[in-house]
Structure 1
Amino acid sequence: LKVAVSCTQRLPALGDLFSISAYVYAQKPQLDIHSFEGTFTRVGLLDLELNQLTKALFLALVALSIVMVTLQGFVGPWYRNLFRFLLLFSYIIPISLRVNLDMGKAAYGWMIMKDDNIPGTVVRTSTIPEELGRLVYLLTDKTGTLTQNEMIFKRLHLGTVSYGTDTMDEIQNHIISSYSQSSAPKVRKTVSSRIHEAVKAIALCHNVTPVYESHAGVNGETEYAEVDQNFSDENRTYQASSPDEVALVQWTESVGLTLVNRDLTSMQLKSPGGQILTYYILQVFPFTSESKRMGIIVRDESTGEITFYMKGADVAMSTIVQYNDWLEEECGNMAREGLRTLVVAKKSLTEEQHQDFENRYNQAKLSIHDRALKVAAVVESLEREMELLCLTGVEDQLQADVRPTLEMLRNAGIKIWMLTGDKLETATCIAKSSHLVSRTQDIHIFRPVISRGEAHLELNAFRRKHDCALVISGDSLEVCLKYYEHEFVELACQCPAVVCCRCSPTQKAHIVKLLQHHTGKRTCAIGDGGNDVSMIQAADCGIGIEGKEGKQASLAADFSITQFKHIGRLLMVHGRNSYKRSAALGQFVMHRGLIISTMQAVFSSVFYFASIPLYQGFLMVGYATIYTMFPVFSLVLDQDVKPEMALLYPELYKDLTKGRSLSFKTFLIWVLISIYQGGILMYGALLLFESEFVHVVAISFTALILTELLMVALTIRTWHWLMVVAEFFSLGCYVASLAFLNEYFDVAFITTVTFLWKVSAITVVSCLPLYILKYLKRKFSPPSYSKLTS
């Protein structure tokens, strides 16, 4: 079934697609031909706002042309005059706006990538840098985003006894005892046997490959070999898709059982005494986000024993292992310490059981219909009544400066939602330790609900809380959204922070779309792994972190950073500047067209509504290019506050989200300014009318250029040396070109004192009142940032 994206479904013809400004992301070719992921994304909010203003200007163009024809009295071929007026006033439509904005956005992107304070940042789209300055919701992944995704083994629990980092030597002694031939007390042998079984399971149940550094290659690059018969401990590293698995294998090495070699069919362990133990790999069942577990079947070369090992999340393993009374409680205890837990279990298989499984498994893999379901069913038949061996806990430490960064974002008025696949207790612990939830705020943990009635009761309980962070599981979230979507989103949006745990990639993207639909506010998603891609692409602004899980998130995002802490400067400094600069640039380009159109309207009105141009040829071309382009574009270097001040006072960011830098109010102010200045320039030149008409053009056009240069100076809040260069360069170009504009100007007249004082008088009248108004406004109603800089 082929369905068009929503904004293109009602287009009358294919050609109308080109009227939509958007960009398309299409997934690269892959083996699975039955699935495809792509996004159709329209440009940012600022572009949409400018489009609305441009439409208003177009209506003004048509209305002004009709008024002029009407005042003309519809004499002669009035429709021809109507089109002539449309052409004369066409400068009202800021044709150069798109070019200036796109060039500005490219400049912002370059500035971001050249910022030494956020090294390694990459801007992958040049359409929405100003979106960084208007964010209200930040949705973030946890592992690898807020945390380092560098796991450290912290705890091993066997049910009756727990081992922490301070008791690892005891585990090592038990492992040595298990492989020694000496006689030991029966109780000690039993304990050693249990620990040995647990450690052996951890050392075998994974997808880790040891890699050995051999020598420097011909280009000086290090070469690696997967097989090295020396098995040197000094040059061995481990490669795996998950840092959890690497942490576990590194821990088994530290206690005496070392993974030294692995290929497709076997793996070898080294005992504390240096003995090489070989295990043949019969089957591997990889980890998936749906199953939340992985398994492996191995045969011990020395004994011929076949064992099925499995490890996974407690929610998946609790129904697989034999009954016990400690797993759930200890999982909760470890999670409250902020540890990521894995349950490890095993099942011994006879030769007959294994052969029967192999036959059924191979038969299922050859099925044409429902292959995946049949394969899963065969594997699940093996996952029954498994012996619980141990519970492991690894710690994922927070990234550098996560706490101050989250506090900064919260002070900036940005509401942060953490979406993670981890269990509730772990997510809650990280939310507290990272200061995602303020120390003064309470946390409401949403009770698990499975029915409409339960969801209703829990929502009512939550409604009575105030200024309280919310923690909810993915399953409960689904129930709430199914029956009470509007009510739940409304309550959640009032929370200072929200944590969604046990969240699937699809749910993450769905939450983003819910916020966009119900609030209309700008959203940003940040993550580091492939499971965050859908969330990143659904958000108005996507940020990817290059982490341990590869570059999938980084490549799919609008912006790529190397550490979470960089997001603070990216938003507070570059987001602020990009939005403020684009708003100023856009409105000034409109002003540039409006002022000359006003002069044309005044000129035509004075001369009996004649549809003749005020300025012709090179004057019109030069006005929009070399005479004003550089000073106007230099606004991309402007900044209202210094970066240090923006970071020190993140509260300034709140003003940006209100959209006051570019609104119909500011647009109308610029329209009034343009009408006032255009009228003054034209009427001033006519009042100071000389004996020849050519003098009116010379006086008014020169005053127009000077006014534009002065207005740029009036708009600038922080001067940059390139702005000064742009101003004087443009003025110099105009003065130099006067010698070649004999067709338009009387060179003898423009070198007289009369010309100079008349131009100066008109320019002063057009600009001085605006300078006075700006001074009075800054004195009696200063913007928030000026209170800090003064």
Structure 2
Amino acid sequence: MIQLAQLKKKTSLSAENLLLRGCILRNTEHVYGAVVYQGHDTKIMKNSANARYKLSKLEGQTTTSIISIFGVQVVMALIGAYLGTDWLVSNRESVNYLGDLLGDNKESFSTMLINQCGTWILIFTNFVPISLMVTLELVKFWQGMFMSSDYLMYDEEQDMPIRAQSSNLNEELGQVEYVFSDKTGTLTCNIMEFRKFTAGAKLYGTDQNPSPDDVQESNVRFHDPQLKLDLLDPKAPNHEALVRVLVFLSCCHTIIIDQKKGTYNAASPDELALVNAAKQFGFEFKGFDKNDNMVVENRNTGESLKYQLLHVCEFNSTRKRMSVILKDPQGRTVLMCKGADSVILERLNQKSLDSQVLKKTQQ
């Protein structure tokens, strides 16, 4: 419970009142809120970690090779320093012409060994290919430039070319053999298109693409001249069933209309496709009026239908369906439910299971 001083009343809060990080405020000027689940002791902060530096196989092999070469350089420098120091100490009197290399007579063997070790490391400096790393970085940089200018990887819808934000893994892209995905939406980009549906015992929609002159809503690619004939003719045998289906599509959802843009905001692309399909066929969801009634405009007849929303059972992975309870313009209480066919079919009564409509739909 939370009590607002301005409203002077207590209000119950639930999961529906929780705004997650990244939410956008729409269709309202302000909200009253209290910050919860914040700080370094929250689950999201405990599970967060710094981004791991990604290393390609080529870069890993190059680093290993350079370390190995440097190790060989140090070993050879130690061997050369030891042999050189031993020779200088043994022949100190006969090689006076070497001057400072001989050092002081009081200088110990270990001191001369350290000096000789530094000398031999400088002699073998060219062993380490320092220019190799610079060359690889330049090559990867230009590879990223070529990838960014590849027109085959240009996205016309978002007007965005590929962006190589990191050039460390360029050579790994050509070695991908398997793609593992946990859900189909990752591969389909969550693009849903409304192509066919059944109303009564009749199937609407063909495999043909709509003509360029046909105005199509987003997420809808539908072509069937018979639909318009049955929809505009009240005497058509399938007219009543068709109207019921389209009213169902325009009412059974949780879509919110963006008042500034006039577009639908849906929780899932399939829900957006269904509502846009109803809109294209003449049943447009217009939002809610002052009395919280769902308003559906039938553009085919010019009639405005109002449905009182009584309750919404939102979709979840357990129920695999969503339901709305409405009161239609005739005052009847109606339950509309949509979801996975396996869940809906097992809840049909025997009369519906034996009907020809179900058999035609399953075909």
How would you bin the TM-score normalised by the shorter chain?
A: 0.5 to 0.7
CA–CA distance in structure 2, aligned partners of residues 174 and 128 of structure 1: 57
- 2:249 corresponds to: 202
Structure 1 residues 332 and 193, CA gap change in structure 2 (3 angstroms): closer
SS of the residue aligned with 1:123?
Answer: coil
**Partner SS for 1:136:** coil
Q: Do the aligned partners of residues 266 and 131 (structure 1) sit closer, same or farther apart at CA in structure 2, a change above 3 Å counting?
A: farther
Residues 37, 203 of structure 1: alpha-carbon distance in 2 compared, 3 angstrom cutoff = farther
- Of 154, 165, 180 in structure 1, the residue corresponding to residue 205 of structure 2 is 165
TM-superposed CA distance for 1:53, in Å, is 0.9
Q: Is the 8 A contact 1:168 1:255 kept in 2?
A: no
Distance 1:211 1:92 in 2: 66
Q: 1:281 aligns with which of 300, 305, 309?
A: 309
Task: Tell me the CA shift for residue 42 of structure 1.
Answer: 3.3
Task: Say if 1:314 and 1:331, in contact at 8 Å, map to a contact too.
Answer: no
**Pairing 1:261–2:287 present:** yes
Q: Is the 8 A contact 1:169 1:255 kept in 2?
A: no
* Conserved? CA contact 2:294–2:309, under 8 Å: yes
Does the C-alpha gap of structure 1 residues 78 and 332 become closer, same or farther in structure 2, counting only changes over 3 Å? farther
Q: Which residues of 2 match residues 666-677 of structure 1 at below 5 A?
A: none
Structure 2 residue 127 is matched with structure 1 residue 92: yes
The one of 67, 75, 79 equivalent to 1:55 is 67
Query: Conserved in 2, the CA contact under 8 Å of 1:210 and 1:262?
Result: no
Q: Which of these residues, 261, 274, 277, is aligned with residue 251 of structure 1?
A: 277
| Contact 2:85–2:116 (Cα < 8 Å) also in 1 | no
Match of 2:13 in 1: none
Which residue number corresponds to residue 105 of structure 1?
140
Shift of 1:61: 1.0
Shift of residue 277, structure 1, vs aligned partner: 0.6
* Alignment partner, residue 297 of structure 2: 270
| 1:78 is the counterpart of 2:113 | yes
Q: Structure 2 matches for 1:385-534, cutoff 5 A?
A: none
Q: Aligned partners of 2:48 and 2:346: how far apart in 1? A: 34
Contact 2:310–2:326 (Cα < 8 Å) also in 1: yes
Contact 1:260 1:270 in 2 (8 A): yes
Deviation at 1:204, TM superposition (A): 0.8
Is 1:43 aligned to 2:55, yes or no? yes
Q: Deviations over 1:26-79 (max 9, x none)?
A: xx8788653456653532221111122122212211221133134426343224
1:67 equivalent in structure 2: 79
**Secondary structure, in 3 states, of the residue corresponding to 1:138?**
coil
The residue aligned with 2:336 is 309
Quote the residue 1:240 is aligned against. 266
Q: 1:40 to 1:286 in 2, by over 3 A?
A: farther
Residue type of the partner of 1:80? N
Once the two structures are superposed, residues 343-380 of structure 1 have per-residue CA deviations (whole angstroms, 9 ceiling, x without a partner) of xxxxxxxxxxxxxxxxxxxxxxxxxxxxxxxxxxxxxx
Letter in 2 for 1:268: V
CA positional deviation for 1:200: 1.8
How much does 1:129 deviate? 1.4
2:326 to 270, 280, 298: 298
In 1: Cα distance, 2:358 partner to 2:306 partner:
34
- Change in CA separation of 1:29 and 1:162 when aligned onto 2, cut-off 3 Å: closer
Cα distance between partner residues in 1 of 2:176 and 2:79? 42
Identity %: 21
CA spacing shift, 1:288–1:127, aligned 2, 3 Å: farther
Q: Deviations over 1:368-398 (max 9, x none)?
A: xxxxxxxxxxxxxxxxxxxxxxxxxxxxxxx
Question: Structure 2 matches for 1:672-691, cutoff 5 A?
Answer: none
1:43 and 1:174, CA in 2 relative to 1: closer, same or farther beyond 3 A?
A: same
Higher relative contact order (CA 8 A, sep 6+): 1
- Secondary structure of 2:330 counterpart: coil
Aligned to 1:151: 193
Q: Which residue is equivalent to 1:118? A: 153
Following superposition, the deviation at residue 279 of structure 1 comes to 1.8
Change (3 A) 1:266 1:61: farther
User: What SS is found at the alignment partner of 1:125?
Assistant: coil
For 1:269, what is the secondary structure of its paired residue? strand
2:190–2:269: 8 Å Cα contact kept in structure 1? Answer: no
SS at match of 1:268: strand
Q: Identify the residue that residue 501 of structure 1 maps to in structure 2.
A: none
Distance 1:41 1:138 in 2: 22
Change in Cα spacing, 1:73 to 1:117, as seen in structure 2 (3 Å) is: same
Question: Match of 2:166, SS?
Answer: coil
**Structure 2: distance between partners of 1:71 and 1:329:** 95
Task: Decide whether the 8 Å contact of 2:252 with 2:324 is kept in 1.
Answer: yes
Asked if 2 retains the 8 angstrom alpha-carbon contact of 1:296 and 1:309, the reply is: yes
Distance 1:245 1:126 in 2: 39
String of CA shifts for 1:633-683, please: whole Å, max 9, x gaps: xxxxxxxxxxxxxxxxxxxxxxxxxxxxxxxxxxxxxxxxxxxxxxxxxxx
In structure 2, relative to structure 1, the CA distance for the partners of 1:70 and 1:291 (3 Å cut) is farther
Matched, 1:133 2:159: no
Task: Give distance in 1, aligned partners of 2:342 and 2:124.
Answer: 69
Distance 2:283 2:270 in 1: 17
In the alignment, the residues of structure 2 paired with residue 65 and residue 327 of structure 1 have an alpha-carbon distance, to the nearest angstrom, of: 89
Matched position secondary structure for 2:43 = coil
Greater Rg over alpha carbons, structure = 2
Contact 2:84 2:116 in 1 (8 A): no
Distance 1:147 1:80, change over 3 A: closer
Classify 1:80/1:314 alpha carbon distance in 2 versus 1 (closer, same or farther; 3 Å). farther
Matches of 1:54 and 1:132, distance apart in 2: 24
Q: 1:84/1:296 Cα in 2 relative to 1: closer, same or farther (>3 Å)?
A: farther
Q: Distance in 2 between matches of 1:331 and 1:46?
A: 56
Q: Residues 291-336 of structure 1: CA distance to partner in whole angstroms, max 9, x if unpaired?
A: 5433333333x33333332222224434444453689987875xxx
TM-superposed deviation, 1:130: 1.7
Aligned counterparts, 1:168-187, within 5 A: 172=228, 175=231
Can you give the 5+ residue segments of structure 2 that lack an aligned partner in the other structure?
1-20, 24-35, 90-108, 155-160, 207-222
Instruction: Indicate how the Cα distance of structure 1 residues 64 and 328 shifts in structure 2: closer, same or farther if over 3 A, else same.
Output: farther
Q: Distance in 2 between matches of 1:327 and 1:289?
A: 28
C-alpha change, 1:148 and 1:288, in structure 2 (3 Å) is closer
- Aligned twin of 1:230: none
Mapped partners of 2:360, 2:65: distance in 1: 61
Aligned counterparts of 2:147 and 2:357: Cα–Cα separation in 1: 49
State the 1:274 CA deviation.
0.9
> Once superposed, what is the RMSD of the aligned Cα atoms?
3.9
How far off is 1:85 after superposition?
1.9
Q: How many pairs are equivalent?
A: 273
1:278 aligned partner, one-letter code: K
Contact 1:44/1:128 (<8 A) preserved: yes
Could you say if the C-alpha distance between residues 34 and 154 of structure 1 is closer, same or farther in structure 2, counting changes exceeding 3 Å? same
Deviation of 1:256 after TM superposition, in Å, equals 3.8
